[in-house]
Amino acid sequence: MGYESNPILDKLPEHLKQFIKPQDYEAYTAINQAVWRYVMRKNVAYLGKVAHASYVDGLHKTGISIEHIPNMYGMNRILKEIGWAAVAVDGFIPPSAFMEFQAYNVLVIASDIRQLENIEYTPAPDIIHEGAGHAPIIANPEYAEYLRRFGEIGSKAISSAKDYELYEAVRHLSIIKEANGTLPEEIRIAEEKIADLQQNMGKPSEMALIRNLHWWTVEYGLIGTLEKPKIYGAGLLSSIGESEWCMTEDVTKLPYTLEAANMPFDITKPQPQLFVTPNFAHLSQVLEDFANTMALRTGGLSGVDKLIASKALGTIELSTGIQISGHFHNIISHEGKPIYFRTVGATALAYREKELVGHSVLDHPEGFGSPVGKLKGINLAIEDMSPRDLRAYNIFEGKQVSLEFEGGVKVEGTIVTGTRNLQGKIILITFQDCKVTHDGKLLFLPEWGLYHMTVGREIVSAFNGPADLKSFDLITHVPEEGTIKTELSPNQEKLEQYYQQIRDFREQKNPTISRHKVFMELEKHFPDDWLLPVELYELAVKNGDSGFAKDILAHLEKVKQNHPNFGALIDDGIAVTNAERVKA
């Protein structure tokens, strides 16, 4: 299995478990740990003032340490106390899978960590973003329920055929941006591909719209008033650059409403505007308002059309509760209403998310079609007919009938049997020697075998994925392109050794390490490195070695002159240490 399970993870369906990977904690290097520590020290110092109160409390409740990259096993032992769990994955996973994990109260954590060069922000999901950003806030019960509910609804959103292409393009860009040695030209081509896709997506799908809501709340949300908002979005909580910038007047603050669903975002750039929710309960209200617009709740002709356009596995539910899962191919309509639907390929029938016996993909390997609606000239729908009504209209086993539906679909054959739901309503009628036609066009022939006609006056729901997860083989969707693990050069390995020595000194694993000697080696062989000198300055201050601290500051001034882009990072690291000294 490769990971340590628990009661929450045990409930995950197999198609989600395929995305889980071992964390491989020993693979984190000393520089990785230093990057985590720098971001967390700065974030906790700064975010204590501008983040929602749940953030700092949540750090303790979810077992997030400033000193160490979180171990997934340790996190899970603590997360279970608030009814959640965490799993490691390899970078971006498909949006529907990501949301489905949330529906099971499972936090998805990309276990890689950003390179030192991308310490302020990375488009790639990493453990700083997921662990330090998402995990603390779920300790707030109201927000945790919003996240779970979002996953439950979001995983049912219907995608367009282009959504997955965009997802793969964004995943590719995030991978190469975090890989050592990627040529600028390769990054430019990847960014241009994303820009081109975004310009030619057509009408936004449900998944695109709900991903916008996810972005402007879960990732980049503010809470409170427009004048004095607080941060709760994981993207802001984990970005030491954008968490400060978003508080300035340069970023427009807008009230969070359903309109946020129509606001696209660019993952590669800071956001020019952010949305402010007055409280976490308001997030749930907007989510429900959006769900009311989804085919999940509206069904009808437009719902089936969305499934056909998605070219993906989906489900429709009829008014009787019977569910048909497959790849929807075409729909016949009349006066704006669906009157006949057709799937192609493996199809399964279910009732209340449980597959009907005798109606698996093995029973319907080549597709399924059925009329929808009421019989012509009869006000009473089949589903509302009592046994006496059914017999009066000759809808009875052993009877040869000709049923003509509104819109012109005609079913002619001998009834074999009927299947009823728990309320006693008939949901499926099976015929032999059956012919189905519409305006003279043949839809089903007697020689094709038994004909199963689903019963329902209307399509009440249409959504992504199968009704019964066990009906289909879903263990096929792991992204082909994996994150790139770069081997260290001899020079990088030497720098890693110096970072490890200072880490061992701080943790009292090897207190005999000469910090002065390490500093001299840095000045000589790694004059451009800024993070380890910042750590050395912290130790010098804590140990009262003012002379050593001054030498380090002088060196860091040279680094800033040669690399002005490091200036703010260096100043911030020094400021955190100085602030800690004042508190002490």
What is the pLDDT at residue 479? Answer: 61
Rounded to an integer, what distance in angstroms lies between the CA atom of residue 33 and that of residue 499?
Answer: 9
Rounded to an integer, what distance in angstroms lies between the CA atom of residue 476 and that of residue 264?
Answer: 29
Q: In the numeric block, which tokens belong to residue 107? A: 């936090």
Of 455, 485, 290, 313, nearest in space to 384 by CA: 455
What is the pLDDT at residue 81? Answer: 85
DSSP, collapsed to helix, strand or coil, labels residue 127 as helix
Q: How many CB atoms lie within 10 A of CB 72?
A: 24
Sign of CA dihedral 45, 51, 53, 55: negative
- Given a contact cutoff of 8 angstroms between Cβ atoms, the answer to whether 533 and 549 are in contact is no
Q: In the numeric block, which tokens belong to residue 162? A: 């282009």
Q: Please, what is the average pLDDT of the chain?
A: 91
- For the chain, the domains span 7-207, 299-471, 490-583
Of 417, 425, 406, 392, nearest in space to 320 by CA: 425
Q: What angle do CA 192, 196, 197 make, to 5 degrees?
A: 120
Global pTM value: 0.87
- Is CATH 1.10.800.10 the classification given to domain 7-207? yes
Ranges of residues in the chain with a pLDDT under 70 are: 1-3, 123, 268, 476-486, 583-584
Q: In the numeric block, which tokens belong to residue 400? A: 């040869």
Rounded to an integer, what distance in angstroms lies between the CA atom of residue 578 and that of residue 571?
Answer: 10
What is the pLDDT at residue 283? Answer: 97
What is the pLDDT at residue 483? Answer: 63
- Given a contact cutoff of 8 angstroms between Cβ atoms, the answer to whether 350 and 323 are in contact is yes
Sign of CA dihedral 181, 184, 186, 192: positive
HSE-CB for 454 with a 13 A CA cutoff: 30
Q: In the numeric block, which tokens belong to residue 323? A: 């569910």
Of 410, 421, 414, 390, nearest in space to 318 by CA: 421
Of 503, 485, 486, 563, nearest in space to 529 by CA: 563
* 334-359 tens-digit pLDDT: 999 999 999 999 999 999 999 999 99
Rounded to an integer, what distance in angstroms lies between the CA atom of residue 242 and that of residue 221?
Answer: 12
What is the pLDDT at residue 79? Answer: 86
What is the pLDDT at residue 43? Answer: 83
> Helices 531-542 and 30-50, interaxial angle, to 10°?
70
Chosen CATH of 299-471 out of 3.40.640.10, 3.20.20.70, 1.10.760.10, 2.30.30.100: 2.30.30.100
What is the pLDDT at residue 362? Answer: 97
Q: How many CB atoms lie within 10 A of CB 509?
A: 11
Rounded to an integer, what distance in angstroms lies between the CA atom of residue 509 and that of residue 503?
Answer: 8
* 366-389 tens-digit pLDDT: 999 999 999 999 999 999 999 899
What is the pLDDT at residue 300? Answer: 97
Sign of CA dihedral 193, 194, 199, 205: positive
On the question of a common fold for 7-207 and 299-471, the answer reads: no
- Given a contact cutoff of 8 angstroms between Cβ atoms, the answer to whether 256 and 274 are in contact is no
Write a three-state SS string for 315-326.
EEEECCCEEEEE
What is the pLDDT at residue 65? Answer: 87
What is the pLDDT at residue 196? Answer: 85
DSSP 446-499: GGG--EEEE--SSEEEEEES-SSGGGS--TT---SSPPP-PPPPHHHHHHHHHH
Cα–chain-centroid distance for residue 208?
12
Cα–chain-centroid distance for residue 192?
24
What is the pLDDT at residue 484? Answer: 60
CA distances from 246 to 154, 236, 238 (A): 27, 8, 13
In this structure, which amino acid lies at residue 15? H
All residues at 6 or more sequence positions from 335 whose CB lies less than 8 Å from its CB, including other chains:
407
Q: In the numeric block, which tokens belong to residue 383? A: 């589903």
CA distances from 305 to 200, 211, 289, 327, 442 (A): 20, 21, 22, 12, 22
Q: In the numeric block, which tokens belong to residue 126? A: 């990493």
